[in-house]
Structure formats: C-alpha cells, structure tokens
Chain A
Amino acid sequence: MSASVSSRHPLLTSIGVALAGIAAVALLAVLPGGSTLAQQVVSGLMLGGIYVAVAVAFTLTIGVLNFLNFTIPTLFMLTGMVAWGLSRWGLPFGLSPGLHWAPALLGGVAVAILASLIVERFTFRYLKTRHGDATEHAIPLVSSLGFLLIFEHLVLIFLGSEAQSFPVRFRLDLHLGPLVVGLPQLASLLLSLGVVFWLSWLLQSTRTGRALRSIAESPDTATLLGVEVARIVPIVFLLSGLLCGVAGALFVVNYSDVSPFMGEHVGTKAIAGMVLGGLGSIWGAIAGGLLVGLLETLGIHFFGGDAAQVAVWGVLLAVLILRPQGLFGASRIGKGKL
C-alpha cells in the first residue's frame, strides 16, 4: 500500500461549511425548543476540536510512515496526568511546590513530546528488516502497543489509578442569546484548529514539509533524492507529540478532570474521525474529528451512550469497507509492480 499524506486546501469549501453550520445553529437557536439542540451542537463541535488534534496526530504518522501509532492516546493521557501531578506535588524530588496550572500544563505537553521521541528512538530506528510481506507494517504497531503498556502503567505506579479533579480557574461564559459558549471551549477549538492550519502550511510550503511528503510517497525514492529520512522521521513524532499534548491540555482546561484512562475514549474517537476523513488526509481528519464529536454528543443526547458507540463504530466499519479512502478523500488504487 502506498502511503501518502495530503493537505490540499479546500479552504473555500471549509469556510462555506463553517458558515452553513453557524447559520444552522443560529436558526436552531431561535426556533422554539431548538436551543437545547443548538447547545448540543455547540458542545459537540467543542469536543470535536479535541478529537481533531488527536486525529491529525494519527493521520500524520499513518500518512508519512504507514504506522498506526497506538501510543498517541497514551501521549494525550500523559499530558493530563503529568500536568495534574505537577500542579498537585510540583517537580519531582521536591524541587518545587505544586505549580500553577499554566506551567503545569506546559510541563505535561513537554513530557508528551519527549515520550513521543522516545517511541521513535526505539521503534523506527530499529526497523531494518524489510521483507515486503503482508505483516511488515505490524512491527512498529506492536512496538507502540508495548510502549502503551509501559507509559500507562508507569502513570498508574507514580500517579495512581484514580480519576482526579484538576480545576483550572479560567472560566468565562459567553451568552449568545440562549446559547452558552464557554470561553475556554471556544479558545480551545480555535487553538486546536490553529495548530492544524499551521501544520498544513508546514507540509505545503516548507522544506521540511516537502521532505515529509516525499517520504510519504516513497521512502526509497526520497532517500535517492537526498532526503535524510533518519533526520526527518523524528519530526513526525515531535509533531504528533505536540498535537496530543495540546489536545490533552485543552481537555483539562475544558473538563477539569483527568484519569489514567482518559486516552482510550479520546483515542478511539480520534481514530474514528481519521477513518471518516480518509487515512493520511489532514483536512479529512479535521472534518472527521468535528463530525465524530457532533455525532457522539447528539447520539448520547438522543439514544444513550452504548447505542452511540454502536452507531459510531458501525458507520466506521461501513466507511472502511465501502469507501476506504474516507468520505472526502480521492481514491488511490495501485497494483504491485512485477
């Protein structure tokens, strides 16, 4: 399977969709009885903003390296739990008392990036055997499952297995007619989209971005063209660590609680978003992440949590089988050269 990462700009389309969405919400809000629904749509989009960042982390590693990185949800969790630990107890070895929430969150993000780079050091750099057979892509996947176990249980050992409340004193609600929009929520949606836009610009317009895209097309050709694959690959892990860190920090700001298991829920939803958008497509991951957030919130509102799970995964399975390129992606079919 040829890997790829695409970041084509359907900018006008996305602006159009966004305007249509705002108009729809506004319409719902003024309709009698529609304001609860409109509130759900707003919450769904906010939640979707967090899924977007994690989904982009997934899609980036798959697109460039053909690697389904299972540590990504753990990096998200690591950010939240480490930040909570820093704010509760301060730096290790009694170096400082408990930190203010902002530096604590920054520390959490830094740890997530560091952890991501450790994963790169021990998975990709050792991947030398290439038989080109059908399960070759499973080798880094299995390594990442090993790291998932390591990180998760280190957190359990040092930070406990309890869900913790991590209140961030940063609450300000905007009242737009009948709608209540939390300022942190709005800020997080914008920040997460901002990071993704920056990433898409990076891929499209910089030297590093071109190198990444050439690796995505063919690592061998990229090497022949003088791209130093070994130096570029860590950038993918740095970026995915950053994206997970930002998502984890925004989750804390919005929902004020953390747990060692918070990664699983967000991770599976982000995978769903990535698949809906098409593997390797950044714009697809944005649309897919927002869509999953929306579907989840509305699904729970109307049908309850377990039914929402069946719906989300059922749709996902159907998309994988019927439109593996995603709802928005272009088809890319190739046959092995003989």
Chain B
Amino acid sequence: MPAEPLLALSGVTKAFGGLTVVQDVGFDLPRGGRLGLIGPNGAGKTTVFNLISGVYPIDAGEIRLDGQPISRLPPRARVRAGIARSFQNIRLMPHLSAVENVMLGQHARAAGLGALLTPIAWMPRGRWRREAEELLAAAGLDIDPGEVVANLPYGIRKKIEVVRALAARPKLLMLDEPAAGLNPAETAELARFLREIAAAGTTLLVVEHDMGFVNEVCDRVVVLNFGRKIFEGSMAGARADTTVREAYLGAEAADAA
C-alpha cells in the first residue's frame, strides 16, 4: 500500500451564487512534496487555497490532511492540524511589529489559558519571542524586529508573511504568490529559502505566476483553468502540453507555436 499523501483533494467543487469557480478538482500532495498550483488569472487558484484553509466551506468533494477529513473543520482547527498559509496581497497586521506578527503566527501552538495569559511582550528573552526573532533571522531578514510593519518596505513585508506562516510550524505550508512584486535578487533568495524549508521536511503548496520560480522551487505542478484541473505532472510536461498552452495563450496562438 502506497504511503498516505499529506494532503488529498478529491472532487472539490465551489460555486458563488451560480458561478462555479472550482469544479471537481482533485490532486494528492505527498509528504515532503513541493507542488506548484498554476494557471491563468481567474483560474480558481486562490479559491482552492481558501477552501483548504477554511475561509469558505466546500460545496462538494473532500479534503483530507494526513488521511483525516478536514472539510468540516473551522479555520483555526485546520491551523492546529498543520496547515499554514500566506496571502496574495500582504495581510500582515499593520499596527503590530514584525516580531509580533510572527508571534501571532505561533498562536495555534500556544494552547491553554496559561500560554494565553503569560506576558510575551515584557520578556525579550522569553521562549516565544526568541524563537520568533530567530525565525526572522533565519529567513535572512536583517531588520529591527520591533519595527511596526506598516513602516517596512514591500519586499520585507512579503517575506515576513512567509515567516509568519512558518511560525505555526506547519506540516503543509501554502504560499499564495510569494514572489509577486519582488525583484530578481529577492526572488532568487526566496527560492533558496523555500528549498531549505522543504529540505527540512515541510511540504509546500505554491501558487505563483513566475514560472522560473515555480520551476526552481516545485517538483510537480497542477494546472487549473476556469476552475478545472487541466494538467498534473512535471513542469516540463506542462510546457509541452497542448491544453495548457491553449489555456495560457489562446487556441490559435498555441496552434501557431
């Protein structure tokens, strides 16, 4: 019997008021895998993320983590089960400092009233704070951890988003366009950082438009178009696939090429 995949989607469907945005999508993501979720704008990639993390309930199908169905769980239970994510548009808390945002990411691991009511701000050497600062440093972020994030530049905030998700120590890390808006040097640095994370055992699910980045980070891709899965396999396979080319370029352009 093959090893149980970490994440398994089957027949996942979601409609908003008569418009079906995700239809019958299914794929498996093995433990330690690095899957890229790609497709043209409006293909339903972010919606799939929202369905996995529990922003919306699914209409049909099943989502399993470690073999356990999670489709009925509230979002915070899914974080505790081991799913953490970042957001397409930066959704850091603007009034919190960098390190506080990362400590917020730890919330799912801090169970119980005791953890909730122990001061974490007054103790610069407290366990949680030290861990958060180390995580920021490990990501190559050379910033004052006490700086309020609204004052930080875009590239740095984009990276703090990834670090905040990592602070939950997830089994599955979902990143929604982590390289969008970064310059080539920052993108290469991020790709290196993500490969490190993956090497340490975290499973990755990445939505991204930068195909070079996907190629570098992911070992496999799933292509969505109009809410349906049109391809699953290697990046090279996706490049050669006629349906994928049509989806990206339009039918005639694909024929001409």
Contacts and interface: CB of A to CB of B under 8 A. Distances in A.
A207 to B, nearest CB: 30
Given A133-B94, A338-B49, A338-B176, 6 more contacts: A131-B95, A131-B150, A335-B55, A338-B46, A338-B50, A338-B55
Q: Which of A131, A133, A335, A338 has the most CB of B within 10 A?
A: A338
A199 B50 CA distance: 42
Contacts of B50: 338
Nearest to B50: A338
A133 B94 CA distance: 9
B87 interface: yes
Contacts of B89: 338
Nearest to B93: A133
A-B interface, 5 closest residue pairs, ranked by CB to CB distance from nearest: A131-B94, A338-B87, A338-B50, A338-B46, A338-B55
Contact of A133 (B49, B55, B87, B95): B95
B97 to A, nearest CB: 15
Q: Report whether over half of chain B's contact residues are helix, strand or loop; otherwise say mixed.
A: loop
A275 to B, nearest CB: 27
B91 interface: yes
Interface size class for chain B? 10 to 19
Contacts of A335: 55-56
Contact of A338 (B88, B94, B95): B88
Contacts of B95: 131, 133
A174 B87 CA distance: 68
Interface residues of A, number: 4
Interface string B90-130: 01001100000000000000000000000000000000000
Contacts of A133: 94-95
A265 to B, nearest CB: 39
Nearest to B88: A338
Contacts of B94: 131, 133
B157 to A, nearest CB: 14
A337 to B, nearest CB: 8
Contacts of A338: 46, 49-50, 55, 87-89, 91, 176
A130 to B, nearest CB: 11
A281 to B, nearest CB: 21
A338 B47 CA distance: 9
Nearest to B176: A338
Nearest to B150: A131
A133 B87 CA distance: 17
Nearest to B89: A338
B81 to A, nearest CB: 20
A128 to B, nearest CB: 15
A131 B176 CA distance: 22
Interface string A4-17: 00000000000000
A338 B91 CA distance: 8
A131 B151 CA distance: 13
A335 B16 CA distance: 12
Contacts of B55: 335, 338
A338 B45 CA distance: 12
Nearest to A338: B87
16 contacts: A131-B94, A131-B95, A131-B150, A133-B94, A133-B95, A335-B55, A335-B56, A338-B46, A338-B49, A338-B50, A338-B55, A338-B87, A338-B88, A338-B89, A338-B91, A338-B176
